[in-house]
Chain A
């Protein structure tokens, strides 16, 4: 298990390899389809972003409403491939870590090599457990999007698995090749 703190260390990120288990501690930002669309529109117009994505972690999640006394509701990852079209503009701004679930396009994997970034998986459907690692949650912007607003999360030992690394390693390909019997 490898510990990662935010803002992330570029060298550490580049040293990660597909299959490594990591624990993230620090600040991560949430964003799904609608928020990504808005962020990329800002960049297209040459405007600055409402969050600093340099050396940051973005987690693809739309949590349930928090029950009284809890920092956040259940908060598991959503499928990441839908965010592929928005990846490059944010990587250009220095984004280093994206967390979600499921496979993504070939082009996206090439971008990780180009920008020295990684894609991690959280465990889909482990939303209640994941919520236990979130200590604080506040809306940064796009409150009108509800669960899809950009939230700033303070996390402690957030569990994730390196899925695509910055040198072309792909856990899905490696894992399936090892166990395919048909």
Chain B
């Protein structure tokens, strides 16, 4: 058995969120630079240029890239040979609390969805746990903004809808969202599973690296085709029209019921903040 100190988890979560909010991953920045070269609209090009300038300034001066420093999403991958004493969720929340109160990040969480009083420390985090064999302890974090999250959707399609039905849903969702989710976006798609599983898969898809490709050949083909088709929608950077609406499409799949074709679409803004570490 391998023992993990929860104090280490708290410290790691704290530093990862501050780091994530101030630093856009290098491969996302590279992708944005390619988008700036490829964008056909002069205004769209100018907008992407300003986004890149912002991301570099934020890293240089250690400022949050975006004022919406999000809801804290945390994915824990815990090996079955790992032990810890105490409440892992509280350890994560304490890290989030410290990051947001000490790291000059905005607190964007309300305690109750209807009376809407701010919790003032951005807790609770949304925590997902996966148990795997071995002694790994991996932490993935993402501050997820509200603007792009609000443009996401879940739909229970039927098998007859097939690939065409999925494509139509994705294209409609991205087109209707227009400039609201801060395009160029990354589109995370979960297909299969059931109602809640597909939503989680869509989120997990957004945690993948921007330049990877699904190991599933059908999903990989869909990623390529959807990226091309979304970029024909004309939405463009910030919705002002253009040829780069989407930086990447990520499709995750899972077995499902013979009667179902669940599809979830989770939209990520261009500030695709994400950090990963193994303890």
Q: Which residues of A contact B (CB under 8 A)?
A: 19, 61-67, 70, 73-76, 78-79, 81, 101-103, 121, 123-132, 146-147, 159, 161, 163, 171-172, 174-182
Contacts and interface: CB of A to CB of B under 8 A. Distances in A.
A128 B47 contact: no
Given A64-B69, A121-B179, A102 B57 contact: no
Pairs A-B, 3 closest by C-beta atoms: A175-B241, A180-B234, A102-B180
A102 B150 CA distance: 12
B241 A174 contact: yes
A66 B61 CA distance: 13
Interface residues of B, number: 50
Given A125-B51, A127-B65, A179-B40, A64 B180 contact: no
A137 to B, nearest CB: 13
A168 to B, nearest CB: 17
Interface of B: 40-41, 43-44, 47, 50-51, 53-55, 57-58, 61-69, 104-108, 118, 120, 147, 150, 171, 178-180, 182, 229, 232-236, 238-243, 269-271
Nearest to A66: B104
A127 B67 contact: yes
B269 A125 contact: yes
A103 B238 CA distance: 10
A73 to B, nearest CB: 6
Contacts of A74: 58, 63-67
A129 B54 contact: yes
A102 B53 CA distance: 21
B232 A182 contact: yes
A125 B43 contact: no
Contacts of B54: 123, 125-130
Contacts of B40: 179
B66 A127 contact: yes
Given A125-B270, A125-B271, A130-B54, 5 more contacts: A62-B106, A124-B66, A176-B236, A177-B234, A182-B171
Q: Which of B69, B232, B241 has the most chain A CB atoms inside 10 A of its CB?
A: B241
Contact of A179 (B55, B57, B234, B271): B234
A13 B204 CA distance: 46
Contacts of B53: 126, 129
B43 to A, nearest CB: 7
Contact of B66 (A125, A132, A176): A125
B241 A178 contact: yes
A23 to B, nearest CB: 13
B64 A64 contact: yes
Contacts of A76: 66-68
Contact of B50 (A81, A103, A123): A123
